[in-house]
Amino acid sequence: MIKRSFFKSKYLPYLLIFPQLLVTLTFFYWPAVQGIFQSFLLSDPFGRKSKFVWFYNYIELFTDPLYLKSIFITFTFSIAVAFVSISLGLFIASMANRALKAKALVRTMLIWPYAVAPAISGIMWLFLLHPSYGIVALAIKEWLGVNWNPVLYGSDAMVMIVMASAWKQVSYNFVFFLAGMQAIPKSLIEASAIDGASPFKRFWFISFPLLSPTFFFLTVMNIIYSFFETFGIIHTVTQGGPGGSTNILVYKVYQDGFVGLNLGSSAAQSVVLMTLIIVITFLQFRFVEKKVQYSG
């Protein structure tokens, strides 16, 4: 789309778009192409010799039980994070939307974890869930009778990173749900109240369906978040351990490529992730953009 009235200039538009294109070409497209190219090569760790091996890296990857396990872990992790943070965000937002007084104050008090870096959220939860010092760990041990030890047990470590990731994301979801709820016309709520619908029914039959676009959008965003942005949490909290039980795909790319110097496999993993995010982005634009009606 372009404006009806526009400027004419021979060189100026190119000059203006040049910095943007330069950065995207050097740091986005060139590396991406390199990555795709490398995924077809088998090279020694020092990158001196390499051989073109077609799909060898991919075949190796998808027959590697560790990689299949990592895929499973990533999906479990992202579904858990999305579920916990979205349901908490929705719950708190629906409460905050009912609060007549101090709405602004409530919002202020709930918004700030957004500014906390994932890695810092990881450090705090590492302490809260520390097997010997953590207070939440103590509560789990005392009340639930679980032998809590995320250093030894994979499932406990998974719970730990889910908590750290979901906690940070609650305020993001809260902001969107609250904005969504405030955009619902008051007249709808009032009309149904006159018809005798209880607050719960109003929520369930009016607010909730009208929030479904927000809901879908947040599901996508939370899954992207837990796929890609939780790297800091994994790196500070578990480093993929114990025994690879929290080694999500992005962390595995880093470990295999940057630490383990297995260049071909890491590149193939990158290409798999790239495909994945292209699919997610496509779905997002296909479904979100069409169904959502934003009011400005």
Partner 1 sequence: MVEKTPFLDLFTYAFLMLGIFIVGFPIIYSLIAATLSLEEVSRVPMPLIPGDQFIVNMKEAWSRGDLGTQITNSFIMASGITIGKIAVSMIGAFSIVYFDYRFRVVAFASVFCTLMLPVEVRILPTYEMAANVLSPLQSLWDFLHLNSLMSWFSGNDISVTLNWCLLDSYTGLILPLVASATCTFLFRQFFLTVPEELCEAAKIDGASPMMFFRKILFPLSKTNIAALVVIEFVYGYNQYLWPLLVTTNPKMTTAVIGLQNLIPQADDLPEWNIALGAAVLVMVPPILVVLLMQRWFVKGLIEKEK
Residues 157-176 that bind partner 1 (CB under 8 A): 167, 170-172, 175-176
Q: How many chain residues interact with partner 1 (CB under 8 A)?
A: 101
Residues of span 246-275 touching partner 1 by CB under 8 A? 250, 253-254, 257-258, 263, 266-267, 270, 273-274
Smallest gap from Cβ 138 to partner 1, in A, equals 6
**Which string of x and - marks every residue 3-42 that binds partner 1 (by CB under 8 A)?**
xxxxxxx--xxx-xx-xxx-xx-xxxxxxx-xx--x----
The one among 128, 157, 161, 211 contacting partner 1 by CB under 8 A: 128
How many whole angstroms separate alpha carbon 54 and alpha carbon 52? 6
Q: Which two tokens stand for residue 114?
A: 């957004």
Residues of span 42-81 touching partner 1 by CB under 8 A? none
Smallest gap from Cβ 168 to partner 1, in A, equals 10
- Rule CB under 8 A: say whether 96 interacts with partner 1: yes
Write the CA distances from 186 to 222, 258, 296, integer angstroms. 29, 54, 16
Cis? peptide before 242, omega within 30° of 0: yes
The one among 59, 179, 188, 283 contacting partner 1 by CB under 8 A: 179
How many whole angstroms separate alpha carbon 88 and alpha carbon 199? 19
- Phi/psi for 174 (5° steps) reads -60, -45
- Rule CB under 8 A: say whether 283 interacts with partner 1: no
Binding region for partner 1 (CB under 8 A) out of 53-61, 66-74, 121-129, 153-161:
121-129
Q: Which two tokens stand for residue 214?
A: 């927000």
The one among 150, 213, 232, 240 contacting partner 1 by CB under 8 A: 232
Residues of span 187-226 touching partner 1 by CB under 8 A? 189-190, 193-194, 199, 217, 221
The one among 91, 153, 208, 216 contacting partner 1 by CB under 8 A: 91
3-state secondary structure of 1: coil
CB atoms within 10 A of CB 186: 8
- Phi/psi for 41 (5° steps) reads -110, 150
Smallest gap from Cβ 52 to partner 1, in A, equals 17
Q: Which two tokens stand for residue 109?
A: 């008090």
The one among 127, 188, 209, 212 contacting partner 1 by CB under 8 A: 127
Sign, CA dihedral 40-44-50-52, equals negative
How many whole angstroms separate alpha carbon 174 and alpha carbon 188? 22
